Amino acid sequence: MSLQKPRALITGACSGIGLAIARELARRGWDLCVASENRARLEGAASELRALGISVDDVVMDLSEPSSAKALFDAATRDGAVVDALVCNAGFFFFGEVADADPERAERMLALHVVVPSLLCTYFAKEFRRRKRGHVMLVSSISAFRDFPGIAYYASSKKYLRGFARSLRCELAAYGVSVTCLLPGATATALYDPDVVPVELASRLGVMMPPERVAREGVEAMLRGEAESVPGVFNRAVVRAVGYVPQVAIDAVRRWGPWLRATEP
């Protein structure tokens, strides 16, 4: 019997849910390969994780470049290293109308949320299929369940991840490989600007979950081979409720609410 520890590759692992997932797997004895473009924060996270008694490879890379998928695959599997779980978590958020979006920022989001995770899955799916084992976790969002104005780029990219995970799961299940889509709700991370969103208050009220709990539920779902995980009772209730919200109500909020412009400038 091999005594080699299982090993996971986690993107966006220097903060938020990604770092929480890394900590959760580290506590379970997994070795890690962590990737992010922020060198200082990634090195700090890697040092913290090594203190838990595991091996950690840190890869500094701009994951919004389409070519980064192959480069990261090569880095994570260098010298015959094995990856047992792929966790695609890297992402960011912005709010506003499509007409007002910075095209470069929108392009970066689509690459980070759609292109690169898809290509990473292509590279690793071949390995997992060949070995007839492995786990994939794609981090989406409960925004994938309903379309709302102001988050068109973000929610649509997360909806893509949910659909992609479902298709990939169907393809790989025959080879003993599991694919899990993690769909968190609002989480108390740096994804939100604290000057705009009252993160601390939302956390105290239970509207926002701590990333540690999201990570724990997500990792448990992945290891059990579940198709989807929506962490938190509140978030599961929201997912059920949004299906009953009529489109006319959403249109009214868009037209009369204070968050988006109601008329042409």
In a domain, 43, yes or no: yes
Residue 1: pLDDT band by 50, 70, 90 thresholds? very low
In a domain, 264, yes or no: no
Count of structural domains within the chain: 1
Domain that holds residue 151: 7-256
Backbone angles phi, psi at 44, to 5 degrees: -65, -45
Per mean pLDDT, which range of 114-118, 144-148, 190-194 is the poorest?
190-194
CA distance 226 to 138: 12
Judged against a pLDDT cut of 70, whether residue 265 lies above it is answered with no
Mean pLDDT of 220-243: 94
CATH code assigned at 28: 3.40.50.720
In a domain, 200, yes or no: yes
The continuous run of DSSP H or E covering 138 comes out as: strand 135-139
For residue 160, which amino acid is it?
A: Y
Q: What is the pLDDT of residue 248?
A: 87
Instruction: Report pLDDT digits (tens) over 169-211.
Output: 999 999 999 999 999 998 877 665 555 555 565 565 566 789 9
* Higher-confidence position of 241 and 200: 241
Coarse DSSP helix, strand, coil percentages of the chain, rounded to the nearest 5 percent: 50, 15, 35
The mean pLDDT value of the chain amounts to 90
Q: What is the pLDDT of residue 201?
A: 54
Q: What is the pLDDT of residue 102?
A: 95
Torsion-angle region of residue 149: left (phi > 0), alpha (psi -120 to 50) or beta? beta
Cα 85 to the center of its chain, rounded Å: 14
In a domain, 2, yes or no: no
State the pairing for strand pair 31-36/228-229.
Answer: unpaired
Mean pLDDT of 138-144: 96
Per mean pLDDT, which range of 36-40, 111-115, 174-178, 193-197 is the poorest?
193-197
Torsion of CA 17, 112, 6, 214, to 10 degrees: 20
In a domain, 61, yes or no: yes
Share of the chain above pLDDT 90, in %: 75
In a domain, 104, yes or no: yes
123 near 73, Cβ under 8 Å? yes
In a domain, 261, yes or no: no
Helix (H, G, I), strand (E, B) or coil at 238: helix
Judged against a pLDDT cut of 90, whether residue 69 lies above it is answered with yes
In a domain, 265, yes or no: no
Instruction: Report pLDDT digits (tens) over 88-106.
Output: 999 999 888 999 999 999 9
Q: What is the pLDDT of residue 251?
A: 84
